[in-house]
Structure 1
Amino acid sequence: MNGLASSLAEIEALKGLTGEAARDIVVCPPFTLVEKAVECTKGAAIAVGAQDCHAQTSGAYTGDVSAEMLAEIGARFVILGHSERHSAYKEMDAAVAGKAAAVHKAGLTSIICIGETRAERDEGRAIDVVRAQLEGSIPDTATSSNTAIAYEPVWAIGTGLVPSLEQIEEVHLSIRQTLGERLGEDGYSVRILYGGSVKVSNAAAIFGVSNVDGALVGGASLKASEFAEIILAAV
């Protein structure tokens, strides 16, 4: 929940990066800026997404937004199951799967978030927790063309704490294996992103980890100058 109309200038400033090959840039502003962000990125290789949606296409769900509504105004991606949605709104994996199916039906791409808490990590259950979340959050409609997975350890989001590269590699490998089991050969083409205190100083190292195909960037994406350096670190 960050950004007013004046924040569109930060998105505009990213247009100069669109000539960089092999990088997909997606910005996901709050609902109020999605349509404006689509307008200001026309002609640039920057896709726009939303931060959530409802599983139903319409109905008595005051305050909610459907995937069809987002598609109509030009959104192409939707972030689902972010840890803050889990903790603050008690969203369960099945709810995330329902939303993802709705996103796919609307022709959009889902970015499904999974990740363990500090307690679960300390108890040695990180892999089991992440695997269970992934299996419960992916709908049968998922493919490598309409789904990306974002591993975001809850304890690393906005804290400045980051798992070791070895820990990231271990979890991403488990995610890759789980995707292969669930989706067959296509599962090995699903993009897996890392999220959780990604910043300029650690982006290149994280991008160099096996099975890390990109990043879900939080606070560091609010300033174009900082976000641009992270984007340029993806080679």
Structure 2
Amino acid sequence: MRTDIIDAAARLLQEQGVRAVTTRAVAEAAGVQAPTIYRLFGDKDGLIDAVAEHVMATYVATKTTEAADDPVAELRAGWRVHIEFGVANPDLFRLLHTSPRPSPATAAGIDVLRRRIRRLAAAGLLRVDEQRALDMIHAAGTGTVFALLATPPGERDPGLADALFDAVCTGLLTTTAPARDDGVATAAVTFLTVLADLPALTDAERALMAEWLTRSLARLRNP
């Protein structure tokens, strides 16, 4: 029954847009009573979250994003899936990224991005700290989708997404341009990544070292 309700809501969203996804309409399309939706999902927001997770999981399952030996290629593949998903599901994408309430589906996507950025940092490829990298990529990816959605399909630049990815990576990765800090920031970011695994240090010593490295990175960004 839960699956039938999610499928019905997803069809309404895809075919008629966000406004069509009312509790009454979904209940009718799924052949259930409205109280059943509240019992299974809590409220309409809970239903939308379930729809988002279902649609995203179904879409991502059709894509290959792993590039185990190349964290940069893995990041690029994930970027493309994000852009393609947003363009293919405009109503859902707008709903997820304009709602004041954080969506579990969005949070799950950010967690995946965070793990990919950690791989870059561990490989010594980041020239900024991990949180800055995550914020930049997430903002750029979301903005790219909205820019494409604001353009009529026949007028969209097919190379825009890849060009923006390359532009963002120029500021993030040591592999795209010479580092202005001669590798100091890259070393600090990499050290922060492995700090928790260093032996023979107390928690207090790790915290102090993390504070020093974070302060140094902030000074390098804003001399």
TM-score, length basis structure 1: 0.30
Q: Which structure is larger by alpha-carbon Rg, 1 or 2?
A: 2
User: RCO higher in 1 or 2 (8 Å CA, sep ≥ 6)?
Assistant: 2
TM-score, length basis structure 2: 0.31
More helix per residue:
2
